[in-house]
Amino acid sequence: MRIVVLVSGTGSNLQAVLDAVAEGTLDVDIAAVGADRPGTLGVQRAAEAGYPTFVVNFRDYAVRSEWNAALTEKVASYSPDIVLSSGFMRIVDEHFINTFEGRYLNTHPALLPSFPGAHGVRDALAYGVKVTGCTVHIADAGVDTGPILAQAAVEVLEDDTEESLHERIKVQERRLLIETLDRISTRGLPAL
């Protein structure tokens, strides 16, 4: 299974994928790792591991639709079976979603459909939930609204801060991502 991974930052989920592939516990072909801006640690990690990388810099385009078209074309050039948003902090347009329909995966640090958006951990803490977690889902045109593939629960502790809770969620998120990619690579995407 060929995957293209999109990152915007440090690439900690990407590192988990790189490690699992290197260890032989995940049988996927990482076709490329791309970012929406230059200088991301995620792209650096991939390059150091010997994988092709690319940047489609959001700031190089006057209109969002032009950036989306360029990103879609670049990702498609690698013929991926799956596109993985791994901390990719840009919302893509319908053209991108339609091009990779049902094959664009995202991870989210909450138990969707609760607490969608960029601040899932903070929102869960503010609401006062006792359990939150993480979700791997197929991204669609909404914000964190696509079909759910897998979830893992994480208990909220009395003394949790946003940072401490997020770190525990990330541990489960990495594990869940590897398990989900492994299941897809051996059994295919589920019928939705």
Rounded to 5 degrees, what are φ and ψ at 150? -165, 155
Q: In 103-115, which positions are buried (b, 16+ CB within 10 angstroms) versus exposed (e)?
A: bbbbbbbbbbeeb
Q: Which residues are catalytic?
A: 108
Closest CA to 37 of 73, 13, 6: 6
d(C-alpha 58, C-alpha 87), whole Å? 15
Give the pair of three-digit tokens for residue 134. 């993480």
